Structure 1
Amino acid sequence: MDKPHIRIAVKEDLPSIVDIYNEAVLNSVATFDTVPRTLEQQEQWFEQHGEAYPVIVAEQDGNVIGWASVNRYSDRLAYAQTAELSLYIKDGHRGKGLGKRMLERMLAEGKAAGLHTVLSRITEGNDNSIHLHRLFGFDTVGTMRQVGTKFGRLLDVVLMQKIL
């Protein structure tokens, strides 16, 4: 088995990106989406990114096993250099250091794209994600109390920020 290779995503990666994301939608609180996304929705999402908001994938033995993106934080132009991070790893590939490699690459891509600030919203209890962000210099800037309901529970969200 080859070591995962991290690269810029292409449109052909979208079916795998959708599968990985929808697994998180259905089985975790990593996203507050509650309905799986369609390939068409993800194509529209991908088209909104471009060079200003990169999307990367981790590929191993020809299969996409993770993806990350920096997403437009707001449509207000004053926020153009601020993005929100998304990072998802396929079940069975977590806990092996891939998240560190992907986050490092995503931050480098974001900086190269001209971003100044990256934000992450992390659901309460996701201590591994909070720890990973801290390793890369993210600071906790607040906790939003009971802002989302998933699986019948009201959940807090930790807001973290890194200046690139």
Structure 2
Amino acid sequence: MNPIYEKAAPGVTVRPALPGDAEAVREIRNHAIEHSTALWTDRTLSAAEGADWLAAHLERGSAFVAEAGGEVVGFATYGPWREKEGYRHTVENSVYVREGHHGRGIGSVLLAAVIDAARGAGHHVMVAGIEAGNAASVRLHERYGFEHAGTVREVGIKFGRWLDLTIMRLPLS
């Protein structure tokens, strides 16, 4: 394991996600959908949809979970930033931590894992699309060297209000 993982979150293990993690990942993801502006959708995933969503990431080797005390307490993925072939060397990350486990460095170790994996897979740039009001996520990405690429105003809506999208980028190669 990369020493940065141990230093950032003692007692937390980061590993590649497995099919058996689908329900825990779905619970964390659905909580974010229902209670935050991290995911700009109102539609939660069923158990089957959650398993299919995770399976797509497992095929690419781009999903990781954090465990503490035998419980999945967070997950992170990366995937294509855009579908057109001109973007094939750019990926976008997502990091989510289970409610009640914030502030323990879990997001940090998960972000480190997806950066390492994407770099190892030969990707050129990693992008993060963050709701502009999510200062904790912006700070997390800054700590790992992401730079602000810009903010696009009022491009999403959730909970009856317009949301701004901050784009951050990290060169991987």
TM-score for both structures, normalised by structure 1 = 0.93
For residues 17-36 of structure 1, give each alpha carbon's deviation from its aligned partner in whole angstroms, at most 9, with x where no partner exists: 00000000000001102111
Between the aligned partners of 1:63 and 1:135, the Cα distance in structure 2 is 26
Match of 2:137 in 1: 129
Which residue is 1:87 aligned to?
95
Match of residue 16 from structure 1: 24
What is the rounded CA distance, in whole Å, between the counterparts of 1:107 and 1:51 in structure 2? 18
1:146 is aligned, of 129, 154, 157, to 154
* Large movers: runs of 4+ above 3 Å: 50-53
**Residue pair 1:51, 1:113 contacting (<8 A) in 2 also:** no
* SS state at 2:57 partner: coil
SS at match of 1:141: strand
2:127–2:170 contact (8 Å) kept in structure 1: yes
From 93, 102, 105, give the equivalent of 2:110.
Answer: 102
CA RMSD of aligned residues (A): 1.4
Matched, 1:117 2:113: no
1:43 to 28, 44, 51: 51
Q: Does 1:29 align with 2:37?
A: yes
Paired with 1:114 and 1:42, the residues of 2 have a C-alpha distance of 27
Letter in 2 for 1:139: E
Identity %: 33
CA contact (8 A) 2:18 2:58 kept: no
Deviation digits for residues 36-94 of structure 1, max 9, x if unmatched?
A: 11222222222322464510000112110000000122222222221111000000100
> Which residue type is aligned with residue 65 of structure 1?
V
Q: 1:68 aligns with which of 62, 76, 86?
A: 76
Q: TM-score, normalised by structure 2?
A: 0.89
Q: CA separation in 2, counterparts of 1:60 and 1:51? A: 25
Unaligned runs of 5+ in 1: none
- Contact persistence 2:75–2:96 (CA under 8 A): yes
Q: In 1, Cα distance between the equivalents of 2:51 and 2:21? A: 10
